[in-house]
Structure 1
Amino acid sequence: MNKTDSIARRILGWKLNRWDRWYDYEKNLFIHDSEFQPEHNLDHAMLIVEKLGMFGYTYTTNGHSEVSFNDVRATGATLSQAITNAAYSIIEKHSSVDSARLWQQLC
């Protein structure tokens, strides 16, 4: 599973409907892989920021290539890449620590 897949499933709560598309139950909408590219599209990355904000994460940025969500920091070549990297770091951090509790919160 790559970063985008992990973020779609574990943060946004989307379900894999087919090998090339997701289903968003909250919006009753199908999203194709090509329509969700958070590392390359800032609007897509901001969906992640919005969702993490709903879970109590505070988003801060330090320019165009560094972001923080509470105590998790990440960098990238662009702001959207930094957001994606930080979100994935949250997933990795909580996967090894109390994963059941976090996923109950996120999903």
Structure 2
Amino acid sequence: MNKIEIIARRILGWKLNRWDRWYDFEKEQFIPVSEFQPEENIEHAMLIVERLKELGFSYKTNGTSGACFGDVCETGETLAQAITNAAYSVADNSSIDEGWL
């Protein structure tokens, strides 16, 4: 799985319906894989922020190239990349109990 797949599955709770689209059970809608680009689209990155907040993570940013969820901080060329990188670090951290994801 790549970074975006891990975030979509473990944080957003989406399931891969076909090779080219996700299914969001909460909103009962399909999301084409090609249209979910959180590293490039700040609106998509903010969906991740909101979901992690719902899961109890605090969020902070320096406003341009750094983002933190709790104690996990990452950087990127843009804020959207930093959010995606930090979310991936949270989702892929093997020390975290995956029961909450």
**TM bucket normalised to smaller:** over 0.9
* Structure 1 CA distance for aligned equivalents of residues 77 and 33 of structure 2: 22
* Structure 1 CA distance for aligned equivalents of residues 63 and 47 of structure 2: 19
| Secondary structure at 2:34 match in 1 | helix
Count residues in correspondence: 101
| Secondary structure at 1:63 match in 2 | coil
1:35 shift after superposition: 1.4
* Structure 1 CA distance for aligned equivalents of residues 87 and 53 of structure 2: 11
User: Which structure has more helix as a fraction of its residues?
Assistant: 1
Alignment-derived partner of residue 63 in structure 1: 63
Alignment-derived partner of residue 5 in structure 1: 5
Alignment-derived partner of residue 82 in structure 1: 82
1:6 shift after superposition: 0.4
* Structure 1 CA distance for aligned equivalents of residues 2 and 15 of structure 2: 15
Alignment-derived partner of residue 24 in structure 1: 24
Alignment-derived partner of residue 98 in structure 2: 103
1:104 shift after superposition: 2.0
| Secondary structure at 2:77 match in 1 | coil
TM-score in terms of structure 2 length: 0.96
1:34 shift after superposition: 1.5
Q: Identity of aligned pairs, percent?
A: 63
1:103 shift after superposition: 2.5
Q: Structure 2: state its 5+ residue gaps.
A: none
| Secondary structure at 1:87 match in 2 | helix
- Whether contact under 8 Å (2:6, 2:92) holds in the other structure is no
* Structure 1 CA distance for aligned equivalents of residues 30 and 74 of structure 2: 29
1:25 shift after superposition: 0.2
TM-score in terms of structure 1 length: 0.90
1:62 shift after superposition: 1.1
Q: Per-residue displacement from partner, 1:21-41 (whole Å, max 9, x unpaired)? A: 000000000000121000000
1:63 shift after superposition: 2.8
Alignment-derived partner of residue 46 in structure 1: 46
* Structure 2 CA distance for aligned equivalents of residues 23 and 104 of structure 1: 20
Letter in 2 for 1:105: W
